[in-house]
Amino acid sequence: MSTDKTSATTATAEDHVVENPEAPAGAVTVVDPRLLVREQGLTGYVTEFKRKMKSGDLGSIPVVIGLAVIWAIFTSLNSNFLTAGNLSDMSVAMVGTGMIAVGIVFVLLLGEIDLSVGSVSGVAGATFAVLNVTNGMNEWLAFVLAIVTGTAAGALHGFFFAKIGVPAFAVTLAGLLFWNGFMLQILGDNGTINLDADGVVAKLTSYYFSDVAAAYGLAAAVTVIYFVSAFFGNRRREAAGVPSQPLSDTILRTALLAVVAFAVAIVFNQYKGLPLAVVIFIGVLLVTDFVLRRTAYGRKVFALGGSVEASRRAGINVAMVRISVFAISGTFAAVGGLFIASKIASANQGAGGGDLLMNAIAAAVIGGTSLFGGRGRTWNALLGVLVIVSIQYGLALEGIASPVQYMITGGVLLATVVIDAVTRKTQKTAGRA
């Protein structure tokens, strides 16, 4: 038994070459990247990078490069762009749309779309305002009921899609119209309800942890969580006799994360401190990423995005997973709506409208989630919304009007979708799709 385990652990990269007899001629041979790094060190990274380029597996590289270019351009145009104050304001402003984008990621993983999230977010803000401000309900109870409203709306959309067979596009388009009308109805003739500036919702975006230890503590916590997760994950893989990342690789990745995390903490501490909104958003990303990558439910979501029929034959309750995913989308739409209401300290008839829906979907796609289903992570929402908010704030500093912002954001979205489509074609050519 020990001999088998040792031989499995010390296997060479050639032992883990994945051959695909149905792959077309010239297909790229897939080698487990963990073995390449373990055996070749830095050369292994280069080899794996070249393989990914040939097979079209670009990951988050395009969006990271694009974000760097965007920041470089706007910094050259206006030195205030990368100031601590502007970056902190950007981080808070992106949370509302980012929360909605997290829910969109779940839906896109199924290869579907949810067009109702903008209207559902507006309903959540209006529901809280009417219950708390107009009717005097307890803030926390009104807060919970507002989120539950989004969950119920999403589950209803999922029911019509999964059980009745109405296409997701059609049912969520109907939801967009219905929930927008419902929001206007409950807001009444006045159309605007101001929130308590010291209330629960208002503090979602106005509260900052002024103690410098808060930002540094969060940076340290994120770094430690990543290292512990990676370390014990590798230990489990080694115990199972399958390839794992070498310790040096885990340490390198952790060090890079620490540099980024503490750099962000320094920026926050140069302004008002650590925003509560950012803490909540990071927490949501950590939890949702864990659910998708480390739980049976997450594997079912990815499986449906790959093949519905194969998932059904594997015993997955397709209808329930679909309903739950749309319920998750509605929930995060409601949460995002409350953050947006917090930012403007009111619920009004314009909530959920404008470019919110476009930006939420664009954030998920630009960040790296595939429109074709089966590929993506909730962290993509962070990258995507950071790109969009960077464009918005950069153009605003230059005094450029909203129509130009729409055109540029639309161009970035189109470029991302083109990259996604080309990537899929390249992977098929490489025999990996």
Give the 3-state secondary structure of 163-205.
Answer: HHCCCHHHHHHHHHHHHHHHHHHHHCCCCEEECCCCCCCCHHH
pLDDT of 426: 64
Round to whole Å and give the CA distance between 55 and 29.
9
Q: Where are the alpha helices (DSSP H) in 345-398?
A: 356-366, 379-397
Q: How many CB atoms lie within 10 A of CB 298?
A: 17
Q: What is the pLDDT at residue 430?
A: 53
Contact 321, 153 (CB under 8 A): no
> What integer pLDDT is reported at residue 420 of this predicted model?
66
Q: Whose CA is closest to 354, among 130, 100, 170?
A: 100
pTM for the whole structure: 0.84
Task: Name the helix (H) or strand (E) containing 377.
Answer: none
Distance CA 428, CA 23 (A): 8
pLDDT of residue 27: 47
- Residues of the chain with pLDDT below 50 are 1-23, 25-30, 36, 38, 433
Distances 170 to 5, 167, 175, 356 between C-alpha atoms, Å: 53, 5, 9, 19
Q: How far is CA 200 from CA 129, 278, 284, 340, in A?
A: 12, 16, 18, 13
Please give the structure tokens belonging to residue 396: 């605003």
Minimal CA–CA distance to 179: which of 23, 373, 410, 334?
A: 334
- The answer to whether residues 181 and 353 touch, using CB atoms and an 8 Å cutoff, is no
Rounded distance, CA 51 to CA 37, Å?
13
The token pair that represents 337 in the structure block? 């709506």
Return left, alpha or beta for 241; rule: phi > 0 is left, psi -120 to 50 is alpha, else beta: left
Outline where DSSP puts E strands in 195-323: 208-209, 274-275
